[in-house]
Structure 1
Amino acid sequence: MDLDELYRLLRSSHVRATGIVDTLRDPLLVLGPDMTVISANPAFYRAFEASADETVGRSFTALGDGQWDIDELNQLLREVVPKSASIYDYEVTADFPHVGSKTMLITAQRVEHPDRHHRILLVSIVDATLRRRKEAEKDILIGEFDHRIKNLMSVTRALARQTSVKDRSAVEYRDDLISRLDALGRSLQIAAHRDTTSLTELTEQMIEPYRDGASRIEVVPGPQVPLLPTQAMSLGMVLHELATNALKYGALSGDGGQVSIGWTPEDDPDGMPMVRLHWNESGGPETAPPDSQGFGTKLIEVSMEHELGGQARLDFRPEGLRAELTFPQHG
């Protein structure tokens, strides 16, 4: 039986309220015209861990530690009786004795006894704490999803717009863009289902496509460094650009070249924990600083500075590229 059914039954018969309210699953109070509690059902006592002595005969506003003493709510309840009106789902969020923080929905209806000499007020209380929590979590999830989609689209547009088309065929442009999108996908996949990932795992995953079975890329074992999802995405793209550059022009472009990757934690002059990652190439063709800054180099520097809050130093030595990446350590 819900509150509406109880309301109709009480208006059409002489059935005592005390016997019926006990059957309702939600907490319910029966109030007199002066807002004094006439009775409460077992569901009310269970929900608020209260006793009849603490409830019956007391003013509604004095129940608990005064959580129901809300001016707007009391005004609505006092208007219900004289105007024969109703209120539905008035929300109350408060810390209740014994049960903690709760969000309650209040529904109240005036009932006039068939003899027209007695009036009571039925106040139904529904615990909406879990529902509101789930709604809040859903809103956060939707907001986060929207934020991530916008960020992903921004990155994708930037990759498409800035991937060089100069002196290149459509096929070359396509292949280069797809390669970068694949790298973005790998870094997102690594960070997708966890709060943090490790620098070791990210490095191994990002360089895996560039390994040819000859152990030409060595990841020097280093300390465990946790990475936030945003760090993993940005650093993953940086590692991809370094590996792509090595494959096209550097140590991985011919036989015998080697790449060594390692990192060490350290503090900056202000005492902030940092990570210094080294990318060292050797054994490949002689290298020299490029005549102009390409998109790959620009992406590395921008990602390190603006997205990771760090710095990239690229030293194009004749024996091979030396890259030093520094960024703040989290966790």
Structure 2
Amino acid sequence: MIPARTLEEAQILAQAIVNTIPEPFLVLDERFRVLTASRSFCETFKVTPDETEGNLLYALGDGQWDIPALRTLLETIIPDRVAMDGFEVKHDFPGVGWRNMLLNARKVIYQESANITILLAFRDVTATRAIEQEKAALLQQAEELVRQKQVLLQEMQHRVANSLQIIASILLLKARAVSSEETRFHLQDAHQRVMSVAAVQQYLHATDGVDQIDVGAYFEKLCAGLASSMIGDVQPIMIDVMAEKGMVDSSEAVSLGLIVTELVINAIKYAFPQSKPGAKILVTYEIDESDWKLVVSDNGIGKGDSDIGAKDGGLGTTIIKALAKQLSASVEMSAGNDGLTVSITRATFTSRMPKAA
């Protein structure tokens, strides 16, 4: 038998603990009558202890707590469990407004009594849910803006592709119409430059605006397109690509693609003036962290676009050097009886790849 004084002190201590809890808190009996309501509960839901304690929970505040979700928790879940955490209740409370409450419940079973006590704690997550909804709405707006941007980008890419095709067609028609061999050569050369830009643009369009481009797949598709459009049956030329796995920004991929296209076109046009068995162009790309080395070599006669390494090269030379400068890379060329090799290198790089042979 617990002494009356000790029991009274325990009750005072328990009530003090309940009132100290910053979140709304109720103590219910097994019939869901309120034994104790914390000060925070009374302040949050604008009730007094006299209006709350001793009354059925569902009858509080003219039935404002007669909530189906709360009944489910107390009458269905709690009888089968000792505890339940994070049970969400949404309700419009008179005088308080719409609230999202997370309920944590504990069933207390006594060893020497058949009585059961239910501890019910409430956590107001209304503001949190509002922020989450706002974030979801903003995310949806952002996704819609991205979608619109992609549509505009695709439309722009489509227009650019059409424009390049039109320009290339006009240049080719003009080249066929002029009588001057020199003018025809320059028009055909300009046509080929436009087609090289179109080849790069076509691949980037296929990536749907992806920020990172797979270098190996990129070069393979570029070279395959150039081979199918420029290499005839009279002088078959094999174009091989050996690229280490790596990703580059789409902006950097444009410059790399234009360089590869220029060098491959240059090799196709100048390296094999006469038929040669086993004619080959090799494109290699190696990566060492932020450094890289791009090499385009052939096993032709060892001549290129007015000799790319020369001080005064042709249009292709100018384009390649300008693109390399954009990439903070250097250009080197070596030519001999075994062909021409052009290397574009960022920083110091020791090559591990073979040359065309």
Q: With structure 1 as the length reference, what TM-score do the two structures score?
A: 0.50
What is the deviation of 1:277?
Answer: 2.5
Q: Which residue of 2 aligns with 1:101?
A: 135
TM-superposition CA deviations, 1:146-175 (whole Å, max 9, x none): 98799999x99xx9xxxxxxx974433332
Q: Which residue of 2 aligns with 1:230?
A: 251
Q: Which residue of 1 aligns with 2:343?
A: 324
Q: Which residue of 1 aligns with 2:192?
A: 179
User: Structure 2 matches for 1:57-136, cutoff 5 A?
Assistant: 57=94, 59-60=96-97, 65=125, 67=127, 94-96=131-133, 101-103=135-137, 130=140, 132-136=141-145
The answer to which structure has the higher helix fraction is: 2
Q: Structure 1 pair 320/178, CA: closer, same or farther in 2 (3 Å)?
A: same
Q: 2:247 & 2:139 partners in 1: Cα distance?
A: 35
Q: Which residue of 2 aligns with 1:284?
A: 301
Aligned partner of 1:240 among 261, 264, 272? 261
> Given that residues 187 and 237 in structure 1 are in contact (C-alpha distance below 8 angstroms), is that contact kept between their aligned partners in structure 2?
yes
Cα RMSD of the aligned pairs, angstroms, is 5.0
Say which SS state the counterpart of residue 102 (structure 1) adopts. Answer: helix
TM-superposition CA deviations, 1:33-76 (whole Å, max 9, x none): xxxxxx9xx9xxxxxx9645x432253486663539xxxxxxxx
Q: Structure 1 pair 137/285, CA: closer, same or farther in 2 (3 Å)?
A: closer
Q: Does 1:294 align with 2:314?
A: yes
What is the deviation of 1:230?
Answer: 3.0
Q: Does 1:190 align with 2:203?
A: yes
AA in 1 matched with 2:150: L
Say which SS state the counterpart of residue 263 (structure 2) adopts. Answer: helix
| Bigger-Rg structure (1/2) | 2
Using CA pairs under 8 Å that are at least 6 residues apart, name the structure with larger relative contact order, 1 or 2: 1
Q: 2:292 & 2:242 partners in 1: Cα distance?
A: 14
AA in 1 matched with 2:320: I
Q: 2:200 & 2:147 partners in 1: Cα distance?
A: 25
Q: Which residue of 2 aligns with 1:315?
A: 334
> Given that residues 246 and 253 in structure 1 are in contact (C-alpha distance below 8 angstroms), is that contact kept between their aligned partners in structure 2?
no
AA in 1 matched with 2:245: Q
> Given that residues 191 and 197 in structure 1 are in contact (C-alpha distance below 8 angstroms), is that contact kept between their aligned partners in structure 2?
no
Q: Does 1:275 align with 2:292?
A: yes
The unaligned stretches of length 5 or more in structure 2 are 1-63, 68-86, 101-123, 169-179, 348-357
Q: 2:157 & 2:239 partners in 1: Cα distance?
A: 33
Q: Structure 1 pair 265/243, CA: closer, same or farther in 2 (3 Å)?
A: closer
Say which SS state the counterpart of residue 324 (structure 1) adopts. Answer: strand
Q: 1:266 & 1:51 partners in 2: Cα distance?
A: 57
What is the deviation of 1:136?
Answer: 2.1
Q: 1:140 & 1:183 partners in 2: Cα distance?
A: 26
Q: With structure 2 as the length reference, what TM-score do the two structures score?
A: 0.47
Q: Structure 1 pair 285/222, CA: closer, same or farther in 2 (3 Å)?
A: closer
Q: Which residue of 1 aligns with 2:323?
A: 303
> Given that residues 94 and 101 in structure 1 are in contact (C-alpha distance below 8 angstroms), is that contact kept between their aligned partners in structure 2?
yes
AA in 2 matched with 1:310: A
What is the deviation of 1:260?
Answer: 3.5
What is the deviation of 1:192?
Answer: 1.4
What is the deviation of 1:184?
Answer: 1.3
TM-superposition CA deviations, 1:269-304 (whole Å, max 9, x none): xxx343323222234266755461322111112212
What is the deviation of 1:187?
Answer: 1.5
Aligned length: 226
Say which SS state the counterpart of residue 284 (structure 1) adopts. Answer: coil
The unaligned stretches of length 5 or more in structure 1 are 1-38, 43-48, 69-91, 104-127, 160-166
Q: Structure 1 pair 101/58, CA: closer, same or farther in 2 (3 Å)?
A: farther
Say which SS state the counterpart of residue 293 (structure 2) adopts. Answer: strand
